[in-house]
């Protein structure tokens, strides 16, 4: 990521600036080579160039031996890592040979070791950030793959065996065993259908998000301005299924009454509960019986559901249920960025202690330890209490410790940059640096020494900020990577739920209907129906594999033919008029699923005797319309998971699903944009006008 690289360059620049300002102009070249080595590639010739540069800058120009820490740090990430301690030891020998006392030599040794730790830490952090960023999609794909295997195992145990039993029973009946075998087939089909619906409900219960999408689409189609405020954490499990039922009923109620112009849907999670609130500006003449039924279910689950007018005169449905027991988050081992930060902070602290008089060592060490702990807390967020403690410990000890304590101001500057927005943070940092210079002047420090303390405050602040920021970036990327994987798993389960309901559920319902019909027919006619059942059962096997993650494109023409056969078996007169152009596979698959659900609803939710299926192109849209009689005037079909699934599928294509009742006919209308594969109008891919009685 670019931000991580900018921060690394800032850290290296801040460290190098100390030596440039001290007169070692060659440190600029060392900085440039170190940036190339850290951010570009670990090439042997760059390492050789760095070795030559730091040797010249240190021995040839008399610069500080700390510059050798660049080389030692770079060696640590290569196979020549064993040479790094030798470089550090050489720096200590050079420092002592230059006439430094033991304390000065020890100070330079600690600083060189810190540089040796900072450089490989920055290299590894850049690699870590790149790895986290690059593997986030791979982790999500792996999680989806594992979930598909889990779904396949779950479904094959029950539904897979059920389909095998159905196919075997039908084949035996066709082989002349008679229709007595159909009793077992019917029972198995009925149980498999119940299992499929239960599995779909279980998969769907993981998330409330698709219900929010469906609700928004339904309200928008009804001309209601809707706002969704999501404040819960996925997945929700059974709590999500219960709240989804409440949401569907509340939204259906808003649409049915037709008086609302605005609606707000809110979810929340706090204090061990998940809440849902649906508020609209419509009026009610009576409360919905379905909500009363749901209220009993919510109470049985340990929750509460209430509806009525709010203090502002708006109709409100509010439900609260216990939140699911979530697994405790895995505690990751200490990140390298945090360990690096801790090492640098401790190193700076030890350097400060070297200059303290013996009587002040214990209190000084205690206060520095508190500062280090407060700094590490800043990795996980903006902690104003920790910042206040560091501010107090930066200035309060100065009258006692004297100018030797001024180095602590650098520890304050870093977290300030992290805690506030730039327009506030930088003036505050400038104030910290200025206060350090002022205090140094009050103590009468010589100008070079005062300038060094002031510059060190700024450099230390930038280094600490950069390390804190890098640590936070690594944590944020890790969390985002895991969230993406969890979201992918939830989406995969939702896809499985949609396919179970829309594809496999439809096939099993059709098989059950055909088998029931075959049991009532003479043997010869029954054999024709059983041949179709066998074909449907084999197609259901393909549907099951599709649910488990195997992609399968559907044909709208084939689905229309199948729908006509199923409706004919139920004694419904069917007219099919398909006049759509060639469609992209994904559009045709979604419209085929819409047709399946529409036919299922015709059989389950009406007393239909006539049904019409039609498709047509309208500009850049393809339209599928399914109409059936037998709908009672004034009664809209309640929201169902099936229609919700279809709304979600179409929304993914920027399409729309609308339903309504007019003159005793129920109408389902699905529209989706398409691109003509040939770039032209194309011929209609339909079955013409076919009357089926």
Give 407-442 pLDDT, tens digit per residue: 888 888 888 888 888 888 889 989 999 999 999 999
Average pLDDT, the chain: 79
- Nearest to 275, CA basis, from 238, 297, 250, 304: 304
How high is the pLDDT of residue 613?
94
Using one digit for the tens of pLDDT, what is the confidence trace for 598-608? 887 787 666 78
The backbone torsions φ and ψ at residue 660, rounded to the nearest 5 degrees and listed phi first, read 180, 170
Using one digit for the tens of pLDDT, what is the confidence trace for 285-341? 555 566 778 888 888 888 999 888 877 778 899 999 988 776 555 544 456 667 777
Average pLDDT score over residue span 123-138 = 68
Residue 681 has pLDDT above 50, yes or no: no
Residue 635 has pLDDT above 70, yes or no: no
CB atoms closer than 10 angstroms to residue 656: 16
For residues 406 and 351, give the distance between their C-alpha atoms in angstroms, rounded to a whole number: 12
- Sketch out the chain's domains with CATH numbers: 1-100 (no CATH), 208-328 (3.30.565.10), 555-693 (3.30.565.10)
For residues 7 and 15, give the distance between their C-alpha atoms in angstroms, rounded to a whole number: 12
The CB-side HSE value for 382 (13 A sphere, CA atoms) comes to 7
- Nearest to 247, CA basis, from 272, 226, 266: 266
Residue 196 has pLDDT above 60, yes or no: yes
Integer CA distances (angstroms), 564 to 163, 473, 572, 577, 607, in order: 23, 58, 9, 11, 16
For residues 482 and 16, give the distance between their C-alpha atoms in angstroms, rounded to a whole number: 37
For residues 34 and 22, give the distance between their C-alpha atoms in angstroms, rounded to a whole number: 19
Q: What angle do CA 646, 650, 656 make, to 5 degrees?
A: 100
| C-beta separation of 57 from 26 below 8 A | yes
For residues 472 and 461, give the distance between their C-alpha atoms in angstroms, rounded to a whole number: 16
pTM above 0.95, yes or no: no
For residues 214 and 291, give the distance between their C-alpha atoms in angstroms, rounded to a whole number: 19
Query: What is the gyration radius of the CA atoms in the chain, in angstroms?
Result: 36
For residues 367 and 373, give the distance between their C-alpha atoms in angstroms, rounded to a whole number: 10
List the structure tokens of 42.
Answer: 């670990």
Average pLDDT score over residue span 202-208 = 66
């Amino acid at each position: 990521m670019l931000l991580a690289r900018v921060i690394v360059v800032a850290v290296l620049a801040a460290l190098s600036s100390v030596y440039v300002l001290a007169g070692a102009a060659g440190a600029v070249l060392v900085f440039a080579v170190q940036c190339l080595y850290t951010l570009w590639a670990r090439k042997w010739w760059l390492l050789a160039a760095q070795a030559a540069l730091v040797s010249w800058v240190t021995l040839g120009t008399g610069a500080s031996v700390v510059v050798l820490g660049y080389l030692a740090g770079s060696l640590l990430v290569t196979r020549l890592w064993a040479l790094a301690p030798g470089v550090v030891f050489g720096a200590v020998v050079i420092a002592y040979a230059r006439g430094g006392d033991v304390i000065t030599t020890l100070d330079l040794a600690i600083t060189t070791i810190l540089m040796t730790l900072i450089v490989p830490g920055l290299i590894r952090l850049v690699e870590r950030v790149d790895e986290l960023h690059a593997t986030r999609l791979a982790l999500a794909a792996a999680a989806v793959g594992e979930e598909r295997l889990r779904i396949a195992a779950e479904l094959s145990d029950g539904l897979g065996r059920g389909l095998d039993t159905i196919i075997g029973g039908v084949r035996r009946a066709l082989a002349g065993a008679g229709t007595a075998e159909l009793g077992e087939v019917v029972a198995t089909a009925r149980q498999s259908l119940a299992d499929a619906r239960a599995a779909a409900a279980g998969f769907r219960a993981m998330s409330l998000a698709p219900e929010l999408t469906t609700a928004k689409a339904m309200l928008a189609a009804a001309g209601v301005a809707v706002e969704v405020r999501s404040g819960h954490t996925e997945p929700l499990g059974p709590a999500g299924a219960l709240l989804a039922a409440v949401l569907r009923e509340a939204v259906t109620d808003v649409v049915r009454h037709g008086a609302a112009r605005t609606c707000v849907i809110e979810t929340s999670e706090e204090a061990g509960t998940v809440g849902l609130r649906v508020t609209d500006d419509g009026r009610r003449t009576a409360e919905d019986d379905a909500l009363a039924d749901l209220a009993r279910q919510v109470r049985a689950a340990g929750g509460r559901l209430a509806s009525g007018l709010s203090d502002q005169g708006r109709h409100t449905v509010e439900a609260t249920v216990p939140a699911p027991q979530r697994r405790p988050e895995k505690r990751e081992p200490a990140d390298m960025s945090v360990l690096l930060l801790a090492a640098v902070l401790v190193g700076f602290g030890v350097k400060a202690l070297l200059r303290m008089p013996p009587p002040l060592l214990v209190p000084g060490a205690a206060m520095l330890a508190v500062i280090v702990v407060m700094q590490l807390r800043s990795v996980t967020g903006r902690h104003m209490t920790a910042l206040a403690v560091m501010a107090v410990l930066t200035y309060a000890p100065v009258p006692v410790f004297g100018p030797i304590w001024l180095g602590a101001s650098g520890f304050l500057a870093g977290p300030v940059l992290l805690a506030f927005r730039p327009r506030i943070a930088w003036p505050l940092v400038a104030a910290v640096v200025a206060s350090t210079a002022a205090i140094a002047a009050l103590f009468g420090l010589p100008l070079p020494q005062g300038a060094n303390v002031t510059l060190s405050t700024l450099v230390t602040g930038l280094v600490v900020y950069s390390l804190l920021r890098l640590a936070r970036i690594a944590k944020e990327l890790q969390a985002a990577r895991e969230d993406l994987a969890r979201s992918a798993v939830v989406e995969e389960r939702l896809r499985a739920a949609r396919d179970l309901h829309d594809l496999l559920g439809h096939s099993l319902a059709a098989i059950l209907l055909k088998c029931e019909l075959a049991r009532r027919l003479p043997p010869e006619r029954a054999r024709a129906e059983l041949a179709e059942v066998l074909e449907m059962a084999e197609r259901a096997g393909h549907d099951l594999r599709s649910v488990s993650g195997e992609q399968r494109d559907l044909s709208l023409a084939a689905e229309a033919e199948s729908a006509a056969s199923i409706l004919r078996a139920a004694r419904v007169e069917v007219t099919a008029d398909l006049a759509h152009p060639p469609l992209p596979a994904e559009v045709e698959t979604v419209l085929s699923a819409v047709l399946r659900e529409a036919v299922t609803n015709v059989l389950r939710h009406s007393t239909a005797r006539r049904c019409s299926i039609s498709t047509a192109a309208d500009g850049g849209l393809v339209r599928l319309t399914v109409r059936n009689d037998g709908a009672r005037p004034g009664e809209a079909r309640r929201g169902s998971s099936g229609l919700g699934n279809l709304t979600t599928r179409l929304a993914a294509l920027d399409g729309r699903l609308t339903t309504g009742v007019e003159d005793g006919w129920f109408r389902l209308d699905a529209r989706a944009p398409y691109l003509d594969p040939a770039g032209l109008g194309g011929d209609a891919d339909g079955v013409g006008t076919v009357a089926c009685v």
